[in-house]
Amino acid sequence: MCEGGGQRGIFTAGVLDEFMRAQFNPFDLYLGTSAGAQNLSAFICNQPGYARKVIMRYTTKREFFDPLRFVRGGNLIDLDWLVEATASQMPLQMDTAARLFDSGKSFYMCACRQDDYAPNYFLPTKQNWLDVIRASSAIPGFYRSGVSRARST
């Protein structure tokens, strides 16, 4: 289980990188929310350094975090930019994750509803993975547009 916490997720990213280096993965179930879901995505896709790069290179950019944009009525955090930039410049190796899932392991990302803050749990697939990361990372109030998802588990 990996919790969120924005840039504080760098610690979890480091732990998971060491797990990958040591080829340590005895887990059958992975649960993550927000930064934890992003970190676990890198772990499950077996991409050492991926989560650290996202945190250090992308979440520190003005395109992602912009208080002035927020004051002017926009989003404090631009998850659309973050997901699109990382997907195009350093895509997740989802085929690696698919093989892990085929071996019987499960991964759920948690996202809360914007209207009542109730948790919903999603199984990422190649088709919905990036939308689920976006939903899990969407902080109500700071990401005003929200994310729509039809199905949860």
Each residue's pLDDT, cut to its tens digit, for the chain (153 residues) gives: 998 887 888 999 999 999 999 999 999 999 999 999 999 999 999 999 999 999 999 999 999 999 999 999 998 989 999 999 999 999 999 999 999 999 999 999 999 887 888 899 999 999 999 999 999 998 877 776 767 754 444
Using CB atoms within 10 Å of the CB of residue 81, give its burial: 0 to 12 exposed, 13 to 18 middle, 19+ buried: middle
The answer to whether residues 82 and 58 touch, using CB atoms and an 8 Å cutoff, is yes
Say if pTM beats, i.e. exceeds, 0.85: yes
* Alpha helices (H) along 1-140: 10-21, 35-44, 50-53, 67-71, 79-89, 94-102, 129-137
Nearest CA among 32, 49, 30 for reference residue 97? 30
DSSP, collapsed to helix, strand or coil, labels residue 76 as coil
